[in-house]
Structure 1
């Protein structure tokens, strides 16, 4: 993950150096008036700019997978708002307070990895990650991250992801049918899960065991199954495709 660390104050830069140390390869961006300090806290990895910070955002969005800002949350929201596209394209954005007490994912928490990045930084800095997405705050399944570490890809429309995610976090019965791939996906979940699988997720071995009248949603892990063969699940299913070796 290519990461830019942005700080706009002297105290913020001190923290930015600690952040950069926890993220190998990250680059620190700061106003030109702090050029000397920026090089001190991130030797060889600092880049300073003239003009307004807002003018740097388009280039940062284009060049980096993640932006960590030691800037107030409200200011960051205003800075990035004109440049937002969608969660498949937007970089992860994480905000830290100058005291280094809180790490807050602001944008692209799941697909972009902001929640996972916040967790990593919280451990490295001794801070608290403030996760507001329901699946992460309750440590249940993130529908759009299932099997990500194993190389699985998923097939679903935006509306299907929304429907299935809502069913999971609202404790509705969800059929989780696994016909292929490694079964060790919960322990290695993207944002870390230590407890048992939530009770509303019912693991089944074959799709024929899942009654569409009983379950609010279907999470189907298969290599061969075809969505068009099961129209009763239309609009409320996500299909995961594990590679042959996973």
Structure 2
């Protein structure tokens, strides 16, 4: 669920921020100017200082104020459409919801539409592909967990769509909901390749790489961060799996507080999922087995079993071990949906 900061400056804004925070499609934290705050909000007196602090910490910033105030406040912090949070403004009367920043990749457009539905407002979405009902590579990639490898080529695809050019598609994965702008015909100048190889089937090829790899990691008690990090990076490099494709890390529940493993997940922004020994032993598959590991943990293999359990898919990297750490990788099954939205 998207983590959002809802920022208000007036009494009317405070009341509207409550309505927004009570929605069921975002996890919201409210920030209210101290003179117009309440028990459930965090107070501030310096808007610029607040935004400087929270800009990189939330998936979305929702301002309840005038557009000009929001624009001037976020301006010093804007870096890239691939990294900036979604930024949305709604007026204090809740009549208009305006996505200002990261409309596609950050999900601001989709969030604005949902907020407008909640408030009975009008969403003022201005991006050309959305207003014309056309395919957006940014939005499609974000909604389907795909990595855009070249933003310039993404812009070229979007421009070709707006000019009425058919966009070709070559995908290593199944898909549904193909829009009118996209064709499975490879006889196109501009197109999408979705997969992890080095294919470039079109003169202008936008490569989209799925972020659907789960790492299973086991380690001895007290293993430090560097041991985990070195083995994982070496194993992925050998298997030609970019770290960017990893979405989660899984392990046995007795390792949930291992500092080295937690530091590794924190560094790369990975969610850590844990399972009991029984859950791992009940996971079907062809796994390597260690009686020593089973004696210590209750399961004969932690890394392979946890990767498969978490992913629901198959192993693509079998157990590698060094310095008290084991790692394996599995790929989540993926069906691409061209109609899927961010929220």
The TM-score normalised by the length of structure 2 is: 0.57
Distance 1:83 1:223 in 2: 33
Unpaired runs of 5+ residues, structure 2, are 213-330, 335-343
Deviation at 1:116, TM superposition (A): 1.2
Contact 2:107-2:139 at 8 Å conserved across structures? no
Deviation at 1:4, TM superposition (A): 0.5
Distance 2:93 2:87 in 1: 18
In the superposition, relative to structure 1, how do residues 138 and 81 fare at CA in structure 2: closer, same or farther (>3 Å)? Answer: same
1:34 matched residue in structure 2: 36
In the superposition, relative to structure 1, how do residues 87 and 5 fare at CA in structure 2: closer, same or farther (>3 Å)? Answer: same
In the superposition, relative to structure 1, how do residues 218 and 24 fare at CA in structure 2: closer, same or farther (>3 Å)? Answer: closer
Contact 1:5-1:69 at 8 Å conserved across structures? yes
Q: Deviations over 1:118-171 (max 9, x none)?
A: 11111111111111011111221111232544433343x221111111101221
Distance 2:103 2:27 in 1: 21
1:201 matched residue in structure 2: 182
The TM-score normalised by the length of structure 1 is: 0.78
Give the aligned length.
Answer: 212
Which of these residues, 72, 76, 81, is aligned with residue 78 of structure 1?
72
- Residue 182 of structure 1 pairs with residue 208 of structure 2: no
Deviation at 1:9, TM superposition (A): 0.9
Contact 1:167-1:216 at 8 Å conserved across structures? no
Q: Deviations over 1:62-107 (max 9, x none)?
A: 2211100011111111111111111122111000011111110000
Q: What are the residue-to-residue correspondences of 1:100-115 with 2, within 5 Å?
A: 100-115=94-109
Unpaired runs of 5+ residues, structure 1, are 187-196, 205-209
In the superposition, relative to structure 1, how do residues 87 and 149 fare at CA in structure 2: closer, same or farther (>3 Å)? Answer: closer
Identify, as 1 or 2, the structure richer in strand. Answer: 2
